[in-house]
């Protein structure tokens, strides 16, 4: 049985993952939280899953490299320096980073790509997300993943074409922009919609997470799949055979 170690083990996702690992087909090798060193956990594991905090990323990658095991990063709110650290780590170990480990969102990103490629730039793209009141980053990692899918299909760079946090006298929407809006409240596990707004018509592609078990199952599937793979960056498309 694959031994999976959980970074962020006492958190909402950490506990959902522990519940999946208790299915008798996997083994949980333990967990660490804030202030704890992930190295011993890495040495006792066949793979790590990290659902903690962006500030923990570099130490977690270091621990996985030291132990020579793969790591799946689900933590969101990452920036370009984190991205460079992920690329660097992927030279030594298998690394999978994604804003959403669910099958449904992974497929949704394909549908968004297809729609964005087929609809002209006169169809405005807006990404709307809603999450529970405890979420600390916005837009969500999933919203950015979906926006990136649309940007790739249109051959544009998301960073240079995104509009978010509109408030006050913002001026007109920039042509070709991909917009983001974030709602927070209650216990919502994760709702995402990508709206294609054209002349007198709209298409909305949506995903609703009914609870965190979909992310937890995807994380365990991804981490197990990474074991024994050659070092490089992987995606959920690789795990699910969707590309």
Ligand X SMILES: O=C(O)C1=N[C@H](C(=O)O)C[C@H](O)C1
Interface with ligand NDP (CB under 6 A): 7-8, 10-14, 32-34, 51-53, 55-56, 74-77, 98-101, 141, 215
Interface with ligand X includes 26 (CB under 6 A)?
A: no
Query: Total residues contacting ligand X (rule CB under 6 A)?
Result: 9
Q: Which of 26, 82, 135, 221 is catalytic?
A: 135
Phi, psi of 201 (to 5 degrees): -155, 155
Indicate if 207 belongs to the active site. no
Catalytic residue chosen out of the listed positions 26, 82, 113, 131: 131
Q: Give the angle subtended at the CA of 150 by the CAs of 144 and 156, to the nearest 5°.
A: 100
| Residue 132 annotated as lining a ligand binding site | yes
- Binding partner of 5, given ligand NDP, ligand X, none, CB within 5-8 angstroms per partner class: none
HSE, CB side, 13 Å, CA atoms: give it for residue 148: 10
What are residue 3's phi and psi, to 5 degrees? -95, 115
Torsion, Cα of 78, 178, 190, 220 (10° steps)? -50
Active-site residue flag, 135 = yes
Q: Residue 233 corresponds to which tokens in the numbers above?
A: 């960056």
Closest contact distance (angstroms) between CB of 60 and ligand NDP is 7
User: Which residues sit at the interface with ligand X, rule CB under 6 A?
Assistant: 76, 99-100, 131, 135, 140-142, 190
């Amino acid at each position: 049985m694959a031994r999976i170690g959980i970074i962020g083990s006492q958190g909402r996702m950490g506990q959902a993952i522990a519940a999946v690992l208790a299915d008798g087909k996997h083994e949980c090798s333990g967990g660490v939280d804030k202030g704890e060193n992930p190295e011993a956990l890495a040495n006792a594991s066949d793979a790590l899953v990290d659902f903690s905090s962006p500030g923990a990323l570099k130490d977690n990658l270091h621990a996985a490299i030291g132990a020579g095991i793969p790591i799946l990063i689900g933590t969101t709110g990452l920036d370009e320096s984190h991205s460079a650290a992920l690329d660097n780590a992927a030279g030594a170990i298998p690394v999978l980073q994604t804003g959403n480990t669910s099958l449904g969102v992974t497929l949704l990103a394909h549908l968004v790509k297809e729609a964005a490629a087929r609809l002209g730039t006169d169809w405005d793209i807006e990404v709307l997300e809603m999450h529970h009141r405890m979420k600390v980053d916005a837009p969500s990692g999933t919203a950015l993943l979906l926006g990136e899918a649309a940007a790739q299909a249109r051959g544009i760079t998301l960073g240079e074409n995104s509009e978010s946090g509109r408030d006050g006298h913002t001026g007109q929407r920039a042509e070709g922009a991909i917009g983001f809006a974030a709602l927070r409240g209650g216990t919502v596990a994760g709702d995402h919609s990508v709206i294609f707004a054209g002349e007198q018509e709209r298409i909305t592609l949506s995903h609703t997470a009914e609870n965190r078990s979909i992310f937890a199952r995807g994380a365990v599937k991804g981490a197990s799949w990474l074991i024994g793979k050659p070092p490089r960056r992987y995606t959920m498309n690789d795990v699910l055979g969707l590309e």
